[in-house]
Amino acid sequence: MEEIRPGVWIIYGENKGRFPFAHSLYLQGERRVLIDTGAGKSLEKLAGRVDHVCLSHFHRDHVAGNALFADASFSIHPGDAPGVASAEGFYRLTGLIRFDETYWETLNQEGFTATAATEHNEGDRIDLGSLTLRVIHTPGHTPGHCAFLVEEYNLLFAADIDLSPFGPWYGNDSSDLEQFQQSVERVRSLDASLLITSHSRPVREDIDGRLERYGAVIEQRHELIYRLLGKKGLTLEELIDLKPIYRRHPEPARIYRFFEGNMLKKHLDLLIGRGLIRRTGAGLYVRC
Ligand SMILES: [Zn+2]
Ligand SMILES: [Zn+2]
């Protein structure tokens, strides 16, 4: 735990906050609020000391410790609420519902649901007494992904707009590439003086430049995919084999292929929308 501003602590996730862990933010005013519960063991000492939990989005690495805070109230954006209300909702929003059920069971972890979660929405201000948390709806990664601004310090918790070297991730059925780009711009426009994300170190300097370069990865991927199509074009499966986004597909490889394909499809649809490529009857994506 690091008190990064008076009354505001970062709870660093296990394994440096790498998936399946994520950093949490803990705020103590007259009310005590925790953002996300996926930090792992370090959250155990906060059990019983949290009044309300805000979930940035429904992904498992952000909600895995929900059961520790059974005595707190929970909130999540309505766009992501189905993802914590039931396992089926999770599989639907991710798209993993298209996998067979035996695979689902291997993924099932107990205690991630927050069935009684209330809503938080864009512009909501959560009053903690001496601190105020403003909800910034930043969809794209997931439909209900939210960032949180601590107004008194201009400190932004941007969750999975995470500045990772991988770049933006939009591999779920419910992810949206263009919304992700807009959300990065939205976060830039806030001009935060301290940026905390779920999977990177706190950023104090060159916040705007870091965000700009992170968001630019999406256009770079467009260009790469367009180039890979070459003169003859490729099917989606052939593109997945080239792994332009993940570069490698470790085990379980079919999950990586699934996310790679989902991300590629979003790029291909956008390139079609821009009139740069088209899809032939044989399922080939070719340049126009
Ligand atoms: Zn996520
Ligand atoms: Zn995450």
Q: What is the pLDDT of residue 175?
A: 98
Burial of 259 (0-12, 13-18, 19+ CB in 10 A): buried
Q: What is the pLDDT of residue 52?
A: 97
Q: What is the pLDDT of residue 38?
A: 96
- C-alpha–C-alpha distance, residues 156 and 256, integer Å: 30
Nearest listed ligand to the Cα of residue 24: 2
Give tens-digit pLDDT for 112-129: 676 678 999 999 999 999
Location of structure tokens 């439909």:
143
Nearest listed ligand to the Cα of residue 62: 2
Residue closest to 74 by CA, chosen among 50, 91, 90, 92: 50
* Mean pLDDT value of segment 207-224: 98
Per DSSP, the residues of 17-37 read G-TT---EEEEESSSEEEE-S
pLDDT value at 76 more than 80: yes
Per DSSP, the residues of 216-260 read HHHHHHHHHHHHHHTTT-B-HHHHHHH-TTTS---SSHHHHHHHH
pLDDT value at 108 more than 60: no
* Confidence (pTM): 0.95
**CA–centroid distance, residue 119 to ligand 1 (Å):** 18
**CA–centroid distance, residue 61 to ligand 2 (Å):** 5
**CA–centroid distance, residue 233 to ligand 1 (Å):** 32
Nearest listed ligand to the Cα of residue 21: 2
Select the more confidently predicted residue: 244 or 109. Answer: 244
**CA–centroid distance, residue 233 to ligand 2 (Å):** 34
Strand runs labelled E in the chain: 2-5, 8-11, 24-28, 32-35, 52-54, 73-76, 118-119, 125-127, 132-137, 146-150, 155-157, 194-196, 277-279, 285-287
Domains, the chain, in order of start with CATH, read 2-215 (3.60.15.10), 230-287 (no CATH)
Confidence of residue 16 (pLDDT cuts 50, 70, 90): very high
**CA–centroid distance, residue 288 to ligand 2 (Å):** 37
Residues, Cβ < 5 Å to ion ligand 1: 59, 160
**CA–centroid distance, residue 115 to ligand 1 (Å):** 19
Location of structure tokens 């929308």:
273
Q: CB neighbours of 78 closer than 8 A, spacing ≥ 6?
A: 119, 121, 144
Q: What is the pLDDT of residue 101?
A: 65
Give tens-digit pLDDT for 135-169: 999 999 999 999 999 999 999 999 999 999 999 99
**CA–centroid distance, residue 56 to ligand 2 (Å):** 9
Q: What is the pLDDT of residue 98?
A: 84
Q: What share of the chain is helix, strand, coil (3-state, %, to 5)?
A: 35, 20, 45
Query: Which range, of 28-32, 114-118, 120-124, 191-195, averages the lowest pLDDT?
Result: 114-118
Nearest listed ligand to the Cα of residue 164: 2
Q: What is the pLDDT of residue 111?
A: 58
**CA–centroid distance, residue 223 to ligand 2 (Å):** 26
Nearest listed ligand to the Cα of residue 162: 2
Q: What is the pLDDT of residue 112?
A: 65
* CA distances (Å), origin 218, targets 41, 97, 150, 223, 272: 34, 26, 28, 9, 16
Whole-number mean pLDDT of the chain? 94
Q: What is the pLDDT of residue 229?
A: 97
* Amino acid, single-letter form, for residue 23: H
* Mean pLDDT value of segment 131-135: 98
Q: For 243, phi and psi rounded to 5 degrees?
A: 50, 50
Dihedral-angle region of residue 116 (phi above 0 means left; psi in -120 to 50 means alpha; beta otherwise): alpha
Confidence of residue 237 (pLDDT cuts 50, 70, 90): very high
